[in-house]
Homo-oligomer: A and B are copies of this chain.
C-alpha cells in the first residue's frame, strides 16, 4: 500500500475498501519537496490537490505591496491546495511552499473526476471535505471580524497544538494577520 496514512484518512469519513484504494493509488504521484521549495505558484492552474504524508507547508497570496498573507498551514495527514483553482480549473492566485522537508501525494483533478464514478465512496469523502473547507473558510472570515489576535491565537493553539509547536512564529503571525512582534507579545502574556 502506497500510503496507510491516506487510506486511514479516507476511512475516517467514508468506507473505502482495499480494492477501491488500489484504483485510487494508480492515479496518485509521490513527490518530495525540500524546505522553502515551491509546489504551486500564483497564476498556475491547480491541477492537483496535495495530501501531506510528512512535513509542513503553507499556502499564501501576495498583495500588491508584496506582503504575504498565509491562507493555510498544513501538516501531515491533511490536504493542502488552491481549492478554488482546483475546482474551477482556472488560474489561481495562491502559492504553496514547504516549511519543512515534505513528502506529498498528488491527486490529479481529471483522474479524480473519473474516480468518483468508479468509487462512489470517494464522492462521500470529498463532499465532506468540501463541507469542512466551506465551514472553516466561513469561520476564518467571522473570526477576523469578531475576535482579537489573542483570541485567534488561543483558538489555533487549542485546535492545532502541533502547528503552534512546530511552525515558525513568522508564519503563524502572517496566518493570524498580525506582526511577528505582536505575536511574541501575546505568547509572553499567555505564559504569565
Contact = CB atoms under 8 A, between A and B. Distances in A.
A88 interface: yes
Contacts of A124: 116, 123
A131 B88 CA distance: 9
A134 B93 contact: no
Contact of A130 (B120, B131, B141): B131
A137 interface: yes
Chain copies in the assembled complex: 2
A93 B146 CA distance: 12
A84 interface: yes
B93 A135 contact: no
A32 B84 CA distance: 35
A124 to B, nearest CB: 5
State the majority secondary structure of interface residues on A: helix
Interface string A102-143: 000000000000001000100110110011111101110110
A164 interface: no
A121 to B, nearest CB: 9
A139 B4 CA distance: 35
Nearest to A130: B130
A123 B127 contact: yes
Contacts of A156: none
A164 to B, nearest CB: 23
A87 B126 contact: no
23 contacts: A63-B145, A84-B134, A84-B135, A84-B139, A87-B131, A87-B132, A87-B134, A87-B135, A88-B135, A116-B127, A120-B120, A120-B123, A123-B123, A123-B124, A126-B127, A127-B127, A130-B130, A130-B131, A130-B134, A133-B134, A134-B134, A134-B137, A137-B141
